A and B are shown apart, each in its own frame.
Chain A
Amino acid sequence: MLGEFEYLLLSAAARVGENAYGAAIRAEMANATGKPCSIGALYTTLDRLETKGLVETWMGPATAQRGGRPKRMVRITAEGRKAAASFYAAVMRASRGVSWETDGEGVVP
């Protein structure tokens, strides 16, 4: 089963689509969670997902905006899509009948 951060990364990569790469995924994750994503966490998680066969990465083109440096492009594999779908379904099942609205002092399930 995926970890929470792995799922967030896969979701961000899926949202960015065909042009997913490090900086774009990082920005997307920061938008989604409202918290900055460290570049260390991003790249070590990418490596782990690649080792598991859930994503493929390769060096892409360089742009002037990046100081002429190449991008590490990311593509989710079929296994990655299955794993993300499975994680999402598990979260949905676990959340069924539960409300996480707060009363100002704490969480009321």
Chain B
Amino acid sequence: MNGVTDWLADRVALLLDPDEREAVRGDLAESGESGPQAIVGMAGLVARRQAALLWELRPWLALAVAMWAGLILTRQAGRWSHQSATYLWMYLANWRMSDVGNTGFWRLMAQEIGHLLVGCSLLMAGSLAAGIPMGMSQARRNTWVTGALFCGVLAVANLARIPLKPVFAPPILWAIYALLMQPDSCCSRRSVACASAETSGHMFGTI
């Protein structure tokens, strides 16, 4: 195989389970099949594997979780942004030294910080709750099927004029869908920090 076909074969083979990948590539090498033939053979196997996954619950579950988690988390992020973040900005913009001695100033600030922390905790809990089932239901071999399903549902929703604007909000596209595409279940742990950081960044960016 030359460099390009070798590289392509490697990319296609990544969609197979490790043991199967090695066995299949070994079989193709042993039977002396050329680069393009090997790629077509492996692509056929990958297509059969992906088609078989459509009959499993996992990609559908991941899709359902992504859609609902996207809607819920975006709504929560918007609420948090409009309430707590606006108050914080007002405090920062109108802060005076004389306020320091005012009891009401400190009481209100504590109240707003409390709201901020509760909102932040809710977002983290939401990210975690969405990340665990997605991480458990997601594997590298499911990536293409899940991506195709996601695009298919968006296309249908677009044709049916269903508003899906929250799903396209930056926090969801950056954090949740990226999380959905992670290959292993440990992504659910990473997702907490990632989703929270991205969501916070987006919210403060909207102030």
Contact = CB atoms under 8 A, between A and B. Distances in A.
A26 interface: yes
Contacts of A69: 22-23, 25-26, 29
A46 to B, nearest CB: 10
Interface in B42-56: 42, 44-49, 52
A108 B27 CA distance: 41
Interface residues of B, number: 21
B24 interface: yes
A72 interface: yes
Contacts of B45: 38-40, 43-44
Q: How large is the interface on A (under 10, 10 to 19, 20 to 34, 35 or more residues)?
A: 20 to 34
A59 B17 CA distance: 13
A70 B42 contact: no
Interface string A42-61: 01100000000000000100
B41 interface: yes
Given A44-B49, A59-B19, A66 B42 contact: no
B20 to A, nearest CB: 7
B31 interface: yes
24 contacts: A21-B27, A22-B27, A23-B26, A23-B27, A23-B31, A39-B27, A39-B28, A39-B44, A40-B45, A43-B20, A43-B45, A44-B48, A59-B22, A65-B29, A66-B26, A66-B27, A66-B29, A67-B26, A69-B29, A71-B26, A71-B27, A72-B19, A72-B20, A72-B23
